[in-house]
A and B are shown apart, each in its own frame.
Chain A
Amino acid sequence: MRLINQIGEWFEHRLQIAAPIREITVGHRIPRNTASWFYVFGSAALTIFMLQIVTGILLALIYVPSGAEAWTSLQNLNHDVALGWFIRALHGWGSNFMVAVVLIHMVQVFLFGAYKFPRELTWIVGVFLLLMTLGMAFSGQVLRFDQDAYWGLGIGASIASRVPIMGPAIVKIMLGGPIIAGATLSRFFALHVFVIPGMLILFVAVHLLMVLKLGINEWPMPGRLVNRATYEKEYRELERTDGIPFVPNGIWKDMFFAAFILAAIAACAIYFGPFGPSGAPDPTIIQTAPRPDYFFLWLYALLSLLPPAMETPALLIGPVVAIAGLLLLPFLSGEGEKSWRRRPIAVLTILLVAVILGTFTHLAGLAPWSPQMNAWSGDPVPARFLHGTTALQRQGALIFQSKQCRNCHSLGELGGQRGPALDSVAVRLTQDQLIRQVIQGGGNMPAYGKNLNPAETTALVAFLETLHPQGQPAARDASRDQVLRESPPPPNSPAPAQSAPSPSTKQP
């Protein structure tokens, strides 16, 4: 014991670090209320970041950042290296948790008014930390260098190319060449392993330094307003009269939560395993439907749902406005009420953003806007739609399948959802309208005029006309009955028949 003390003193004599450590731990006082479970997310994000550094270094022992070998080195990690799959899973789940925890931390800070004077810069540095975290998430997905990564890069390049004037140049710099290839992976490796982590470490240090210097945001009390002139004096007073040492009174909750988060990541890693890699990054394999990782699913939905004309402006201006808004926030409302109980707009903003992101993410999981490429050959027409049908109508059902209508239209809840379900289309559209829609398209449906001959159109429409619920008749053009009743019947023509004349009779 004495020896240990002597060694400790030897180091302390040279490092002189005991005093500063005491100052930021037991000597660092925090307002009593802030020793709360609401204040654990920042330290949890830092803990996960450290996990990512450790697991990242471990992965780099095996991973090869080469376009030719990255994918196989991941297979090697997954299947051959002892527990390689587990380290990959920890790193992958760690990234998911990190994005989530950083977002929760940000919401907490926003709702508790912690961005207000004098902590504006802490918030601004935090915004950059969020952007870097997302940058790590995207570049990490690229390093997985599978089909999703390859086509995800293509999406990134397509977005970047839309920047006016500079677009094509940005794409070439981003890809490191004319196409997505080895050089692209190398530069994303450099970003993911050196550039962004280096900046992250620096920014985290500044972020933490400011938390220490300015003190943790006190628990917001409704009615206790922030005033630039008096705030810091009030805070020091609070620290003095109602303060407790951060170590151990505050830190134990951080430690408990950090342990819980790490255990949760490990549990997910063991239970769900690593992410991918999916198919090899071979662009000649086109039977793929690339999907982004979950933190960018909302963007995938947005890109599918925006009207085409709004897309480029939204993609280029949207992020600038959002980031500028976040950076300007502490200057726009740097004083005043901190408590979320008296900031309804702040609460509604968070709810709105959460609902939007949640809805888009949920929708992206279903992706109703994507045609189901195999529905035409994979999903049969349910038998109940074929009972009692004529030969012509069955021919129409065949055409319905073989012309890939099914890729976008569902029957019996099977098939694509790009277009409306057709289970009861005959109730909505009359025969004329069906013919017109099939041939001319419109409303986001391609025109099939040149891909269906009149006989095929006749059969297809005959089948579509059978698609109505039992007991609910198909839609009929009322004016046609009227016209037929009022006009003198043409010779040899019976009264308006139940089965309307087939469209092919109208061909000139």
Chain B
Amino acid sequence: MSQDANITRRGFLMQAGILLNGLVALALAVPILRYVLASLTRGRNNAYLSWVALGPVGDFPEGETRLATFRNPFVTPTDGKTVDTACWVRRVDADHFQVFAINCAHLGCPVRWFPQSGLFMCPCHGGAYYRDGSRASGPPERGLFEYPYKISNGALTIQAGELPTPGDATARLQGATQPDQLVAIGPTNHFANLSANAPSAAGCPAATTNGCAELLGKRPPCA
């Protein structure tokens, strides 16, 4: 038996015990971490996203914005009604749509559409958006989130599945940008200037040269 003051037999065994526990803890940490991060890893490569039908194209009259609901494609048994999601569908013309997330681009509260004034208003912090989803006023830094859409078998389908948030949405959900600033107009010819330099307040800009269509990414250019 070693009489060395630094390492006794018992001391060595205790250290071996610590090492053994450390190894087991490390081995257990891997599955535990995997479990804790499951919601993250499961969503890799857009696995949460899929195409969801909102209804026949005919349900959405041209030139109008309607509320549509869909069931989130990713469902667990205890979700209850929380997987039912609302969105605003704007039919620009026969072939072109805009599908806006219900969540305000500021902090996610549900925006409401007012057809009379052509504005989306948020009840929480006072954000407002024009009918094309671009920011009108209030704290949001960007326009409403938009879902990519396509028409298949006569039904409007959108690519959805994740809660749109300001930090994430830029990647997949394209948002309308702030309209170009209006040029200053003189006191006498408001309407002349307005018709020439109209903002994208009514949706599509008069001229596509202001970059709106490009910035909107996948959204088809306005007719």
| A residues lining the B interface (CB < 8 Å) | 66-69, 71, 150-151, 154-155, 157-163, 167-169, 171-173, 175-186, 280-284, 286-290, 300, 303-304, 306, 308-309, 311, 369-371, 373, 376, 402-405, 407, 418, 432, 435-436, 439-441, 444-451, 454, 477, 503, 506-508
B121 on interface, CB distance cutoff 8 Å: yes
How near does chain B come to A404, taking the closest CB pair, in angstroms? 4
A371 and B84 in contact, given A168-B165, A178-B72 (Cβ under 8 angstroms): no
B191–A303 CB distance below 8 A: no
10 closest Cβ contacts across the A-B interface? A68-B80, A161-B167, A182-B78, A154-B108, A167-B167, A161-B165, A446-B136, A450-B202, A178-B48, A286-B110
Nearest residue (CB) in A for B189 is A506
A179–B83 CB distance below 8 A: yes
Give the chain B neighbours of A168 by CB distance below 8 A. Answer: 165, 167-168, 171
A157 and B165 in contact, given A177-B74, A308-B140, A370-B123 (Cβ under 8 angstroms): yes
A177–B39 CB distance below 8 A: yes
A-B contact pairs, 30 of them (CB 8 A): A67-B78, A67-B79, A151-B110, A158-B166, A161-B165, A168-B165, A168-B167, A172-B39, A173-B40, A176-B39, A177-B39, A178-B72, A181-B76, A181-B83, A183-B76, A283-B85, A284-B69, A284-B85, A284-B86, A286-B67, A290-B109, A311-B139, A369-B138, A403-B116, A446-B128, A446-B130, A447-B199, A449-B194, A506-B191, A508-B192
B188 on interface, CB distance cutoff 8 Å: yes
B57 on interface, CB distance cutoff 8 Å: no
Q: Cα distance A450–B136 when bound, in Å?
A: 13
B165–A68 CB distance below 8 A: no
Contact with A along B101-124 (1 / 0, CB 8 A): 011001111111010111101111
B2 on interface, CB distance cutoff 8 Å: no
* Residues B59-117 near A (CB distance < 8 A): 67, 69, 72, 74-86, 102-103, 106-112, 114, 116-117
How near does chain A come to B36, taking the closest CB pair, in angstroms? 8
- Chain B residues touching A, range: 35 or more
How near does chain A come to B39, taking the closest CB pair, in angstroms? 5
Give the chain A neighbours of B192 by CB distance below 8 A. Answer: 507-508
* Residues B194-223 near A (CB distance < 8 A): 194-195, 198-199, 201-202
A290–B124 CB distance below 8 A: yes
B125 on interface, CB distance cutoff 8 Å: yes
Give the chain A neighbours of B191 by CB distance below 8 A. Answer: 454, 503, 506-508
Give the chain B neighbours of A446 by CB distance below 8 A. Answer: 117, 119, 128, 130, 136-137, 201
Q: Cα distance A402–B114 when bound, in Å?
A: 10
Give the chain B neighbours of A311 by CB distance below 8 A. Answer: 139, 141
Q: Cα distance A466–B123 when bound, in Å?
A: 30
A171 and B163 in contact, given A155-B109, A451-B118, A508-B191 (Cβ under 8 angstroms): yes
Give the chain A neighbours of B79 by CB distance below 8 A. Answer: 67-68, 181-183
A283 and B102 in contact, given A157-B163, A158-B107 (Cβ under 8 angstroms): yes
A508 and B82 in contact, given A168-B168, A370-B123 (Cβ under 8 angstroms): no
How near does chain B come to A268, taking the closest CB pair, in angstroms? 27
Q: Cα distance A62–B165 when bound, in Å?
A: 34
How near does chain B come to A181, taking the closest CB pair, in angstroms? 4
Q: Cα distance A184–B72 when bound, in Å?
A: 15
Give the chain B neighbours of A304 by CB distance below 8 A. Answer: 124-126, 139
Give the chain A neighbours of B39 by CB distance below 8 A. Answer: 172-173, 175-178, 183
A286 and B102 in contact, given A154-B109, A171-B167, A450-B202 (Cβ under 8 angstroms): yes
Nearest residue (CB) in A for B102 is A286
B141–A309 CB distance below 8 A: yes
How near does chain A come to B214, taking the closest CB pair, in angstroms? 21
* Other-chain contact of A432, B67, B111, B130, B187 (Cβ < 8 Å): B187
How near does chain B come to A337, taking the closest CB pair, in angstroms? 43
Nearest residue (CB) in A for B188 is A506
B182 on interface, CB distance cutoff 8 Å: yes
B143 on interface, CB distance cutoff 8 Å: no
How near does chain A come to B77, taking the closest CB pair, in angstroms? 7
Give the chain A neighbours of B140 by CB distance below 8 A. Answer: 308
B189–A171 CB distance below 8 A: no
How near does chain A come to B110, taking the closest CB pair, in angstroms? 4
Q: Cα distance A503–B112 when bound, in Å?
A: 32
Nearest residue (CB) in A for B82 is A181
Can you add 12 more A-B contacts, CB < 8 Å, to A309-B141, A508-B192?
A66-B78, A67-B78, A67-B80, A154-B103, A161-B168, A178-B161, A181-B79, A182-B78, A286-B67, A286-B111, A369-B125, A447-B201
Give the chain A neighbours of B69 by CB distance below 8 A. Answer: 284
Q: Cα distance A493–B184 when bound, in Å?
A: 29
Residue in A179, A182, A300, A439 whose Cβ sees the most chain B Cβ within 10 Å: A179
Nearest residue (CB) in B for A368 is B126
Give the chain A neighbours of B198 by CB distance below 8 A. Answer: 449-450
B18 on interface, CB distance cutoff 8 Å: no
Nearest residue (CB) in A for B200 is A450
* Other-chain contact of A69, B48, B80, B114, B130 (Cβ < 8 Å): B80
A440 and B182 in contact, given A151-B110, A173-B40, A284-B86 (Cβ under 8 angstroms): yes
How near does chain A come to B166, taking the closest CB pair, in angstroms? 6
* Other-chain contact of B194, A167, A287, A439, A445 (Cβ < 8 Å): A439
Give the chain B neighbours of A181 by CB distance below 8 A. Answer: 72, 75-76, 78-79, 82-83
Q: Cα distance A66–B82 when bound, in Å?
A: 11
A308 and B123 in contact, given A286-B110, A435-B190, A447-B182 (Cβ under 8 angstroms): no
Give the chain A neighbours of B86 by CB distance below 8 A. Answer: 283-284, 286
